[in-house]
Amino acid sequence: MSQITDLTLAQLKQALGDGDLSSVEITTAFLDRIDSLNPELNAFITISHEDACKAAADADAARAKGKAPAFAGLPMAHKDLFCTDGTRTTCGSKMLADFVAPYDAHVVSRCQQAGLISLGKLNMDEFAMGSSNENSFFGAVKNPWDLSRVPGGSSGGSAAAVAARMTPLATATDTGGSIRQPAALTGTSGLKPTYGRVSRFGMIAFASSLDQGGLIAHTAEDIALGLGLIAGHDPRDSTSADQAVPDYTATLNDSLKGKIIGLPAQFFDERLDPAMRRSMDDVLDVFRSLGATTVDVSLDHIAEAIPAYYVIAPAEASSNLSRFDGVRFGYRADNPKDLTDLYERSRGEGFGSEVKRRILIGTYALSEGYYDAYYKKAQQIRRLIKQDFEQALSQCDLLFGPTTPSTAFVIGEKTADPVAMYLEDIYTVATNMAGLPGGSFQAPLIDGLPSGYQLTGPAFGEGAILNAAHQIQTATDWHTLRPEGL
Ligand code: GLN
């Protein structure tokens, strides 16, 4: 048998259920691997050795009595913006470096109820702002495929931890691409569900109308297993959808015969890197061999997605982050002269530079006299983008394209140029503006580095995305490729 840490969540579940492995064996194997790899990769901010070992022993005992829930004793890890009762939740920020939430996020409690064990909390760009994980107060995360490169962001810790087999499953969030882009750059599978499919309760807010929790794993099958646990209505989030959760694993093996894959012209124009194009063509060949057909579609306003997103997201962030004032919770500056000094220095010292940039942009865009020119205009563009997707998806079952313009870039390469960094999200932000589900899955390597293809579906079409990706993963081995020596 291969090493325990090589197994997917589905394989671990099977081995645990069959009695071939115990939870203590599984949990210890992953914790040992985290201990040996984390000093270099920096994927975890907090490692929960004690709690995880105790939970594993309890799970084995419950299983022996025949009283264990379905996922009892299986390990996972949470992006460090999901609040966890008793374990600190930093959001990658000095502002929350010592913050311990008094409750669990909805996603965290759902996982716990199913029996999953948390191995710890995963590194991320501060307040989920970034595309490279270089904005974390806790330091950059390294890409397991090449330690000189970024793993993507903001869920870079989640993606790197799965890619390096430090956990089989990780939670993540996606406001403009933060699940899909790091999944693509690390050779993992990632799904951003439909807005409202997964409750945001206990998820530290960045841009509330765009934020959505989801998962990163090795396979579409593992995501289907996990999504079934975290999806569903939660009255504590007023935007949570009151819609039944299907069994996502039940449709994984549906045939793709007769399915129509839409190819947005704007994703395949002359700007697409030729190597990325070849990689996408290889994936499309497999779709066709499985009986799917393709149709050309258009997303006319996609070029406006980045500028509109980088008005709306900072506007919402500037409002959400006003709560970090040094008074109620979070970092507080020492010896303030007066109240204004307390606010100014707590925020000045607690936030990093990208977060400050977003607060400034957002406050400007929302201010009297500029609101109509920026925020309102951006919302109008958002509506047009939503209509483009509705129109395109009326002609096909799923939209297909690259997840990122290129493979993982070198650490430091884009930090001095925020606009170059923002353009990294060119294929991903529009999905959030439209509130639709999107997944990124492994495509062929390009010069030894992972590339990812993206599938976007209609609202609540997560099952169709996972089905299509699972079929590709059944027919190819791209999802099994791993960094040399790891
Ligand atoms: N890279 C995008 C940003 O910096 C998206 C981040 C995200 O999805 N959380 O805003």
Going from N- to C-terminal start, the domains of the chain cover: 1-486
Domain spanning 1-486: which CATH class is it, in words?
A: alpha beta
Distance of alpha carbon 197 from alpha carbon 365, whole angstroms = 29
What pLDDT shows up at residue 3? 95
- Residue 466 in this model has a pLDDT that exceeds 90: yes
Which pLDDT tens digit goes with each residue over 102-129? 999 999 999 999 999 999 999 999 999 9
Average per-residue pLDDT for the chain? 97
- Residue 257 in this model has a pLDDT that exceeds 50: yes
Across the range 231-255, mean pLDDT stands at: 98
Active site residues: 79, 154, 178
Task: Give the rounded percent of residues in the chain with a pLDDT score beyond 70.
Answer: 100
What pLDDT shows up at residue 419? 87
Q: Which of 135, 425, 431 to mutate to test the pocket of ligand 1 (most atoms within 8 A of CB)?
A: 425
425 Cα to the center of ligand 1, angstroms:
8
Distance of alpha carbon 146 from alpha carbon 157, whole angstroms = 15
Distance of alpha carbon 209 from alpha carbon 457, whole angstroms = 19
Amino acid identity at 58: D
308 Cα to the center of ligand 1, angstroms:
13
Beta bridge partners of 455: 400, 439
- Residue 370 in this model has a pLDDT that exceeds 70: yes
Beta bridge partners of 295: 262
Q: How many CB atoms lie within 10 A of CB 240?
A: 20
CB 166 within 8 A of CB 38: yes
pTM for the model stands at 0.98
Cβ partners under 8 Å of residue 364, min gap 6: 370, 374
Cβ partners under 8 Å of residue 190, min gap 6: 155, 159, 172, 174, 179, 180, 182, 183, 184, 214, 215, 216, 217, 223, 439, 440
Task: Give the rounded percent of residues in the chain with a pLDDT score beyond 90.
Answer: 95
CB 264 within 8 A of CB 294: no
Burial (0-12, 13-18, 19+ Cβ within 10 Å), 369: exposed
CB 248 within 8 A of CB 461: no
Across the range 301-322, mean pLDDT stands at: 96
What pLDDT shows up at residue 1? 46
Which pLDDT tens digit goes with each residue over 76-90? 999 999 999 999 999
What pLDDT shows up at residue 368? 87
- Ligand 1 in reach of 178 Cβ (< 6 A): yes
- For residue 210, name the pLDDT band (cuts at 50, 70, 90): very high
Which pLDDT tens digit goes with each residue over 6-57? 999 999 999 999 999 999 999 999 999 999 999 999 999 999 999 999 999 9
Token reading at 70 = 């379905």
Which pLDDT tens digit goes with each residue over 284-311? 999 999 999 999 999 999 999 999 999 9
- Residue 63 in this model has a pLDDT that exceeds 70: yes
**Helices (H), ranges, 256-376:** 274-289, 305-320, 339-350, 353-366
- Ligand 1 in reach of 131 Cβ (< 6 A): yes
- For residue 141, name the pLDDT band (cuts at 50, 70, 90): very high
286 Cα to the center of ligand 1, angstroms:
31
- Residue 436 in this model has a pLDDT that exceeds 60: yes
Backbone CA torsion sign across 347, 319, 460, 398: negative
